[in-house]
Structures are given as structure tokens and as C-alpha cells.
Copies of this chain bind each other. A is one copy, B any other.
Amino acid sequence: MYILNLNNSMPQKTNSNRRNFIRNVSLGSLAAITLPSLVSGTAKEVQAKKITLKKNAVVLFQGDSITDSGRKKDQSTPNNAGSLGNGYAFLAAATLLKQFPDLNLQIFNKGISGNKVYQLAERWEEDCLKIQPDVLSILIGVNDFWHTLTGNYKGTIKTYQDDFTALLDRTKQKLPAVQLVIGEPFAVIGVKAVDEKWYPAFNDYRAAAKEIATKYDAVFIPYQTIFDKAQKIAPGSYWTGDGVHPSIAGAELMAASWVETVKK
């Protein structure tokens, strides 16, 4: 049995007594928590570092299906509802474009469903380097773990770390001034696809993403923490349909935390 440890938000193996204790703590603190404070509180804790958006800045969202969110692959123009999909990238774009109308932002989404890090690498020239983003946001890792459970993928946590590091080395070499945003891979335990097989193993991918963010001086968005805290107000199934893909509410939660990373 695994439960959420409220201190570091990493689900841990535990015994029943500790579980009940933490459940009580969780219930006790429930009343004081409101959602705006969840998002901004989390953002404030973790995001001392901020993104600066300059005039004509190019913002690129990269990742897997969570970023993709049904975007139309035949549409490549920035700031376009079709090309941005209907997930957190679109929602963040909408807020950014409304908040910074004087900046002429160019916002792209190039997430592709099912991608692991090595698949980003395969299309990086076309789908990142050529776009020359000023701000590059990457959320990747859930499939690097998930696909090892569903059978076909043999990559390990070391593969994830090495591939991600190589990708960022390559990016920094070509785009030395790029501002990086790295999102924490997340998986909401107990909701459909995400069962006990995920933890504690999946925590390694979360920790790796955070370490890599630090190493590359990236803004780190603690999505797992954000989803864990949100479950104190509504169940996991409200924020994600299957434990991996956010609902509209979950996507907006992510978008709001993304926008919080931008210097006002």
C-alpha cells in the first residue's frame, strides 16, 4: 500500500498506522486550503527563478500527449487554437497572449502523444532547434516509465537521465540563451492507469527531472506536488481522467502554475 507523503509529496511505502496518521493530518488541514493558494503557494515555494518574456519572444511547449492534447499536426502557425491543442499549453498560451498583448509573443506547441525523451531527440532539429525558442518548456517522462510497465520499452531511469541530459546539452549548444522550463512528470495514484506498480519507482523520474532542471538552470514546475495538493479539495479523478492525462480542470491548474513562472 502506498500513500501520499505530505512533506515531500512523493508517495511512499508505509504501514497502516502511519497511513492513518497522515490521513488525519490531511483532513485536519483541509479546511484552510483554497485552490488559488495551492497554485500560487506552490509556485512561490519552488519558483524563485522566473522566465522573462521579451518583445517577439518565441515560446515552445514540448512533450508527450499531455502537451499535445489533440493539437492539429497539419497546423504549424503560432498562437493558433488548432495548433495549440486543448490542454495546458493552449490554456497557458491564452493567458499569456491576454496578459502580454504588447509583446507580440509567438507560442508553439510541438508535443506528440506517446513520446519518450529519445523520441523528442529524433525530431528535435525540426520541432525545436529550427523554431529557435526564447523559452522552451519541456514536460517529458511519464511514458519513459509507463511504457516499461505496459511491456515494450526497456529504458531505465538511467536512460531517462542520460537522454534528457544529452537533449539539453544539444539544445544549449545551439540555443545558448534559451530559457528553460522543465515540468515534473506526474502520475495520480489510484486513478485508472496509475496503480501501485508505479510507486515508489516513478518517484525516481520525478527526482531526475528536478535534478536536471537544477543542473540546467531551468525553472522547475512541481506538477506532482500541484496535483497532490489539489486532491485535498477534489478527488484525483476530478483532475485527471486516467491518472496521467489531466482533465480540463487539471490542465488549467497546470497552465496557471506555468504562467506563474513568468516575471510580471
Contact = CB atoms under 8 A, between A and B. Distances in A.
A86 B81 contact: yes
A230 B101 contact: yes
What's the number of copies of this chain in the assembled complex? 2
A88 B86 CA distance: 12
B35 A99 contact: yes
Interface residues of A, number: 34
B249 A97 contact: yes
Interface string A212-255: 00000000000000000010011000110000000111011101
Contacts of A93: 248
A45 interface: no
Nearest to A100: B35
A256 interface: yes
A36 B99 CA distance: 7
A84 interface: yes
Given A86-B90, A97-B248, A97-B252, 8 more contacts: A70-B82, A84-B248, A86-B86, A90-B248, A94-B255, A95-B252, A101-B239, A102-B233
20 contacts: A35-B98, A36-B99, A70-B81, A80-B248, A81-B86, A81-B87, A81-B248, A84-B248, A86-B86, A91-B91, A94-B249, A94-B255, A97-B247, A97-B248, A97-B249, A98-B256, A101-B230, A101-B233, A101-B238, A101-B249
Interface of A: 35-36, 69-70, 79-82, 84, 86-87, 90-91, 93-95, 97-99, 101-102, 230, 233-234, 238-239, 247-249, 251-253, 255-256
